[in-house]
Structure 1
Amino acid sequence: MLYAVVADKLDKWLWIGYGLIIMEGITLLVFKFFCPLTILARKYSNSTKDNFDIYLPNWLAKYTKLIYSGIVAIILLIIIYRLLD
């Protein structure tokens, strides 16, 4: 999505990507900001770490929602700029 807005390729794939992000946001709201697969995986693990179910360092796994939300916000700002230009 970032490539699409930087390269000014605002096509259907960009909007499909935003649709998927909106669907993911709704899913996170329904499951109280936890991925449903994480909830399922917690049944099979005693670990309370943020990275117990993914191969990322704990410091990175702890902030993935914040990092990706920031990237999506930056993409949205660039899209607004492109559409108003």
Structure 2
Amino acid sequence: MDKLTIIKIIHTVIWVFFNVVLFYLLYSVLINKIDKWVWICIGLILMEGLVLLLFKRMCPITVIARKYSDSTKDNFDIFLPNWLAKHNKLIYTTFFVPILILLIYRLISG
């Protein structure tokens, strides 16, 4: 297995992990089960956002994968459809913001 394939597998596994984190947040906020895991998930997502900011909106895994490919496709470093890889940050930010709004509402309304 070549290095780029290994990087793609790792990147995809991390992407799946963050999907689980987001869907756990959505589920927890919808059923009003605000526990320590909600705060851990928010911390993980904010930490991911900070890493993306530090790397100029680019995943550090993409930076590493760039050494092994000259591809201009957005999905050269992850096993996702190109359209999803291209719009991934926008999609998941758009998904995360309403979850935060609902969480704030749940906390305020008791």
- TM-score grouping bracket, smaller chain normalisation: over 0.9
Q: Where does 1:1-85 land on structure 2 (aligned, <5 Å)?
A: 1-85=25-109
Overall identity of the aligned pairs, in %: 61
Ranges in structure 1 where 5+ consecutive residues have no aligned partner? none
- The two structures have a TM-score, normalised by structure 2, of 0.74
Deviations along 1:28-80, one digit per CA (max 9) or x if unpaired, are: 11110101010000110110110111111111111000011011101001101
Query: Aligned-pair distance for 1:8?
Result: 0.6
The runs of at least 4 aligned residues of structure 1 exceeding 4 Å deviation read none
Ranges in structure 2 where 5+ consecutive residues have no aligned partner? 1-24
Hey, what's the Cα distance between the residues in 2 that align with 1:13 and 1:74?
18
2:14 match = none
- How many aligned residue pairs are there? 85
Q: CA RMSD in A?
A: 0.8
- The two structures have a TM-score, normalised by structure 1, of 0.95
